[in-house]
């Protein structure tokens, strides 16, 4: 949605500048300023502005694209970064179990196994109580979803 807004804003700005008869250099400078301002607004400036989502959307927006990228490219760096943060998203009494699943999968150099192991153990309880549980995206992952999508 941000990309649509940005593209619309650039088109509107370009048309307005063209109508005013400004040079291409002035147009390019104005577009760059708009782009810089847009990217500055999209970055959280402090923890209070971090992205809040639910666990289901986090898995769809972060884990799923990282898994697709891993399967396509063989690069497990994104998936590993995300999996290292996933146990912190569990409820307190299950954090240790989630950590064990992630640690075993990463130790065996098979990060994709953590997804299957977790799905096998928690699918029913996930659908019942986790799916819509609100979480804060860990600061180390903010923006990583967009970075992965650009790599595709």
Residue 141 is predicted with a pLDDT of: 92
User: Is the pLDDT at 106 greater than 50, yes or no?
Assistant: yes
User: Is the pLDDT at 84 greater than 90, yes or no?
Assistant: yes
CA atoms within 13 A on the CB side of 25: 0
Structure-model confidence comparison of residues 126 and 72, the more confident one: 72
pLDDT in tens, 36-66: 444 444 444 444 456 899 999 999 999 999 9
pLDDT in tens, 85-98: 999 998 898 899 99
Residue 27 is predicted with a pLDDT of: 43
User: Is the pLDDT at 74 greater than 90, yes or no?
Assistant: yes
Give which of 137, 121, 126, 116 is closest to 50, Cα–Cα: 137
User: Is the pLDDT at 103 greater than 90, yes or no?
Assistant: yes
Phi, psi angles (nearest 5°) of residue 76 = -100, 10
User: Is the pLDDT at 19 greater than 60, yes or no?
Assistant: no
> For 2-142, where are the E strands, in sequence order?
52-54, 134-136
Lowest mean pLDDT among 16-30, 101-115, 136-150: 16-30
pLDDT in tens, 112-146: 899 889 888 888 888 887 888 899 999 999 999 99
Q: What is the DSSP letter of 47?
A: G
Question: What residues contact 83, with CB distance under 8 A and at least 6 apart?
Answer: 63, 102, 105, 106, 111, 114
């Amino acid at each position: 949605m941000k990309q649509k807004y940005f593209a619309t804003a650039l088109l509107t700005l370009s048309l307005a500048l063209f109508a005013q008869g400004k040079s291409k250099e002035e147009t390019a400078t104005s577009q760059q300023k708009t782009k810089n301002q847009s990217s500055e607004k999209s970055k959280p400036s402090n923890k209070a502005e971090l992205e809040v989502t639910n666990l289901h959307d986090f898995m769809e927006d972060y884990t799923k694209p990282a898994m697709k990228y891993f399967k396509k490219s063989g690069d497990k760096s994104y998936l590993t970064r995300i999996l290292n943060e996933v146990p912190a998203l569990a409820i307190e009494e299950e954090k240790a179990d989630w950590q064990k699943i992630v640690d075993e999968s990463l130790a065996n150099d098979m990060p994709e196994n953590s997804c299957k192991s977790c799905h096998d153990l928690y699918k029913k309880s996930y659908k019942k109580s986790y799916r819509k549980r609100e979480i804060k995206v860990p600061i180390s992952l903010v923006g990583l979803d967009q970075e992965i999508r650009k790599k595709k």
